[in-house]
Amino acid sequence: MNIRYFAWVRERVGVEEETIDVPASVATVADLIAHLKTLDETYAAAFDEEDAIRVALDQVHVEADTILGDAREIAFFPPMTGG
């Protein structure tokens, strides 16, 4: 799965984009976040405020309980503001 990180999530993880093999036990967005947090301290720090992180699955905004299914891309980003 291709994962993209934006704004402070990207700064904390240290990469803009990466491709990972998702374990079979990872079924939802929340499962993926939990998995990423176990990778190392940078991911744990990036997802420390998971309630503040927004998610898009194949460029469609989704909630944490969304099933990943056959998605090709997931993006993590903080809430957007502006006008």
> How many domains is the chain built from?
1
Q: Evaluate whether residue 13 is within a structural domain.
A: yes
- Domain range for 45: 2-77
* Separation between Cα atoms, residue 13 and residue 5, nearest integer Å: 8
CATH number where 13 lies: 3.10.20.30
Identify the pLDDT of residue 81.
56
Q: Evaluate whether residue 42 is within a structural domain.
A: yes
Identify the pLDDT of residue 79.
82
Q: Evaluate whether residue 48 is within a structural domain.
A: yes
In terms of Cβ atoms closer than 10 Å to its own Cβ (0-12, 13-18, 19+), residue 62 is: middle
Q: Evaluate whether residue 82 is within a structural domain.
A: no
pLDDT in single tens digits along all 83 residues of the chain: 999 999 999 999 999 999 999 999 999 999 999 999 999 999 999 999 888 999 999 999 999 999 999 999 999 998 875 55
Q: Evaluate whether residue 62 is within a structural domain.
A: yes
* Separation between Cα atoms, residue 54 and residue 52, nearest integer Å: 7
